[in-house]
Structure 1
Amino acid sequence: MALFTFNRAADYLDAAREMAATGRPTLARLLAEEAADRTPDPDTAARIRAEFPGHSLRQED
């Protein structure tokens, strides 16, 4: 497994794709949601969320 640093939305997206490729869809979705949240463009954020379908898995307070 690659070592990731999480400084940019792209870092979260790369990690999400790796998690999806290794059979960890729940973790992939969480990482993709973070990537989308860190993306300033709403259309790009929507595309990220569409790439990892499903409902939000976050537990918000």
Structure 2
Amino acid sequence: MPLFSFNTSADYLDAAREMADTGRPTLARLLAEAAAELTPDPDQVARILGEFPGAVLPQED
């Protein structure tokens, strides 16, 4: 099994797409949210989150 390194938004997006392709939409959404947090451009954030629809998970305070 390959080891994954998540250093950039693109790393999280690649993993999110893989999870979506294998029928794991909740995990895909979590990874997309992590990618969005690393993305400074609000338009790109909207595009990322739009690509992985689903419920926004609650944030812990």
* TM-score relative to the length of structure 1: 0.88
- Compute the displacement of 1:20 (Å): 0.3
Which amino acid is 2:39 matched to? T
Per-residue displacement from partner, 1:1-44 (whole Å, max 9, x unpaired)? 65321000100000000000001000000000010110011100
Query: What is the aligned length?
Result: 61
Superposition map of 1:19-58 within 5 A = 19-58=19-58
Q: Could you tell me the percent identity over the aligned residues? A: 75
Q: Say yes or no: does 1:60 pair with 2:60.
A: yes
Which amino acid is 2:25 matched to? P
Q: List gaps (5 residues or longer) in structure 2.
A: none
Alpha-carbon contact 1:30-1:58 (below 8 Å) kept: no
Q: Which whole-Å CA distance do the structure 1 matches of 2:35 and 2:46 have between them?
A: 11
- Compute the displacement of 1:58 (Å): 4.1
Q: Which whole-Å CA distance do the structure 2 matches of 1:41 and 1:50 have between them?
A: 14
Runs of 4+ in 1 over 3 A off after TM superposition: none
